[in-house]
Amino acid sequence: MLDLAPLARFGDRVATGLLDVTDDPAALDSTGFWAVAADFEGRLTCARFADVHERPVPAPAPGAWRGPAAGDWTSSLDRAGYTAGVRRIREHIAAGEVYQANLCRVLSAPVDPGADVDALTALLARGNPAPYAGTIRLPEHGVEIATASPELFLRREGRTIESGPIKGTGRTEADLLEKDYAENVMIVDLVRNDLGRVCATGSVTVPELCVVEKHPGLVHLVSTVRGELRDGAGWPETLAAAFPPGSVTGAPKPSALRIIDALETAPRGPYCGGIGWVDADRGVGELAVGIRTFWIDRAVGGGPLLRFGTGAGITWGSDPEGEWRETELKASRLLAVASGAYEAMERY
C-alpha cells in the first residue's frame, strides 16, 4: 500500500492525526473535526482527525506531481455518445418525464503509482484557484481526492443551512444564454424543496438569484438558498434530504437520476458528490459539490488511474454540440494543470 499519511486540507486548514473513519453521518453531529467525502452513488466516508492547524497551501515543488500526458486521457462517453445522450434527454423532456437532467462523462488516464493528490492540490491552487479547494488523502480507505470546486453544496452554521447551486456556464458573461438563466431557476426551486424537507416552515429563502461569478477561464450563474433547520434535524437528515446535489442531477430529481443511470456508462464516484469538512465541536461545516475534482482510482488492474468528471445540464433548449463544448470548456484548464509540468504552469 502507498506510504502516504492520512491528511485533509481545505484552504489554509490542514488536518492530520487520523483518529477514526466511519460511514455513519450521525458522527458529524458528535465531536471533533471531520473530513467528509460522499460519492455520487452514495458511499460516505467521514474521517476524524486529531490535529487541525492553519498552514497555507505550499508552492508546487518541481517534480512532486507526475501527471499523465495530455494525450493519455480517455472519456467514458465520446463526442458521438455524449451528443446522442443529449438528444435522448430532450426526448424525455418532450415526453414530460423531466425538465432538466445533467449528463456527465468521466475522463481517465494512467498515473504514477506514487502519485500524491496533495501535490496535485498545490498545482491546482496555483493554476486554478477555487473557493472550495481541498484534499482528502486516505489511501487505506480508497479515498484520494483533489478538488478545485467552485460550488457550495451545504454550509452549516449552528441551525442555519445554506446552499449555492451553480447553473449556467460560459467563457464570458456575454456567452450566457436564456437557457442558462432558466436552468438556474429550475435548480433553485429543486434546492428550495430539498432544504424545505429539513427546515422550519417558512424559513427557506433565496437571498441571491442568478449572480454572475467569475472563475479562471469561465463564468457561472450562482444562486443562494438558505433556511433554518427544524428541531431534531442534523447532518443525517440534511444529507438524506439534499443528496445528491440538485445542480448535478436535474429536476425532478428522481426522474433525472433514472435517466442519468440509463445514459452514463461509468460511475461518477466523488465527482458530483459532496466533499468538505465538519467541525462538530463548533456546529459548523462546509461541503462543496464535487465538481472540478480529480481522484485516484487504485482498484483497477494495470495500475492506478487519475479520474476527472465533466458534464452539463441539459434542457429542451440544449444544442447537443454546444453541450459537448461546455464539457470541454469545463475540463480543459484543469486537465492542462494536471497534465503539465510545474514549470509550465505560468502559461495557464
Active site residues: 151, 167
Closest CA to 181 of 165, 197, 194, 192: 165
Letter for the amino acid at 326?
A: E
Q: What is the dihedral of CA 334, 336, 337, 341, to 10 degrees?
A: 170
